[in-house]
């Protein structure tokens, strides 16, 4: 079945969220399908955080419909979302920096062996499982006993992604995973986003960077002031057009005009008239 006709893992139809008289999100359509990266872009205040909270079960939508596998739902807790296979990796990652990598991989879901009162952590099995899952995502770490805080930002993101996949995520929501990273580490994270897609997950990549989105995205939804500015598949939009929608056409044109004025060039590329407040220059022929 084609990607465009397959039942979406997660779908929003005209969804919105209001906080009292404040409408944070309105009329949003979004479909997350298996084996595809859906990029949600927008500037600060565009509604990205509210969208994440609805899908991850933190907040209930107040208008429209929220469907999982075609079934209308009203999630009330993140636990319900996890039980339905929706995992969210937030920007701060919620890791314990001084704990080893393998322990962070199983944080809150540790494997044990033996019977009470002699039950103890099954460290060997957790290390083996963590190593196998990381390698399956293309992540090779020499020492799983090293504190996770010693890893680079891109490596910590990859551990969080592999952890979500291991614990049964079908939909993976990534909240600005490259926002605080340099060029090289951002590339590392984008590689693991593509790896998660290739393993059949439906990925929601929240970002304000159209270049990062265009490198891995299959579908693009641009939010602006709580509504959808653009909803298009990759073949329907160029990077230039995506950037234009992201920045907002009117504001971008105004910014270009202002920058041209600062440079002393008018919008047609011709020098502007001299500023009457500038000091007069001497006439070389005088």
Q: What is the pLDDT of residue 2?
A: 46
pLDDT the model gives residue 126: 95
Beta bridge partners, 96, equal none
The structure tokens listed for 200 are 């059949």
Enumerate domains of the chain plus CATH numbers. 10-263 (3.40.50.300)
Q: What is the pLDDT along the chain (286 residues), one digit of tens a residue?
A: 445 557 899 999 999 999 988 899 999 999 999 999 999 999 888 999 999 999 999 999 999 999 999 999 999 899 999 999 999 998 777 788 999 999 999 988 899 998 888 889 999 999 999 999 999 888 889 899 999 999 988 888 889 999 998 998 999 999 999 988 888 889 989 999 999 999 999 999 999 999 999 999 999 999 999 999 999 999 999 999 999 888 765 555 555 566 667 776 655 554 554 444 455 555 555 4
Closest CA to 38 of 165, 174, 170: 174
| Ordered DSSP codes for 120-148 | EE-HHHHHHHHHHHHHHTT---S-TTSBG
Residue 100 is classified by DSSP as B
Query: Going by C-beta distance under 8 Å and a sequence separation of 6 or more, which residues neighbour residue 142?
Result: none
Count of residues making up the chain = 286
**Residue 41 CA, distance from chain mean position:** 8
Between CA 259 and CA 40 the distance in angstroms is 28
Quick check: pTM over 0.85? no
Give the whole-angstrom CA distance, residue 17 versus residue 86: 19
pLDDT at position 277: 46
Q: 23: helix, coil or strand?
A: strand
């Amino acid at each position: 079945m084609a990607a465009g006709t397959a039942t979406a893992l997660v779908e929003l139809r005209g969804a919105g969220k209001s906080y009292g008289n404040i409408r944070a999100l309105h009329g949003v359509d979004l479909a997350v399908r298996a084996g595809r990266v859906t990029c949600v872009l927008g500037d600060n205040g565009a509604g990205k955080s509210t969208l994440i909270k609805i899908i991850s079960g933190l907040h209930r939508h107040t208008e429209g419909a929220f469907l999982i596998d075609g079934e209308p739902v009203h999630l009330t807790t993140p636990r319900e979302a996890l039980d339905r296979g929706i995992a969210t990796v937030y920007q701060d990652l919620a890791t314990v920096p001084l704990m080893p990598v393998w322990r962070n991989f199983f944080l809150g879901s540790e494997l044990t062996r033996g019977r009470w009162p002699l039950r103890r952590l099954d460290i060997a099995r957790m290390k083996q499982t963590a190593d196998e899952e990381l390698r399956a995502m293309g992540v090779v770490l020499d020492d799983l006993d090293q504190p996770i805080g010693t890893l680079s930002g891109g490596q910590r993101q990859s551990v969080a992604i592999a952890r979500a996949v291991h614990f049964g995520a079908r939909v993976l929501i990534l909240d600005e995973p490259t926002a605080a990273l340099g060029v090289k580490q951002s590339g590392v994270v984008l590689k693991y986003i593509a790896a998660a897609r290739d393993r059949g997950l439906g990925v929601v990549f929240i970002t304000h960077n159209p270049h990062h989105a265009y490198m891995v995205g299959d579908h693009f939804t641009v939010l602006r002031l709580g509504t959808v500015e653009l909803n298009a598949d990759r073949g329907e939009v160029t990077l230039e057009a995506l950037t234009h929608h992201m920045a907002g056409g009117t504001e971008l044109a105004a910014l270009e005009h202002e920058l041209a004025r600062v440079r002393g060039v008018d919008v047609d590329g011709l020098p502007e008239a001299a500023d009457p407040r500038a000091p007069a220059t001497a006439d070389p022929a005088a």
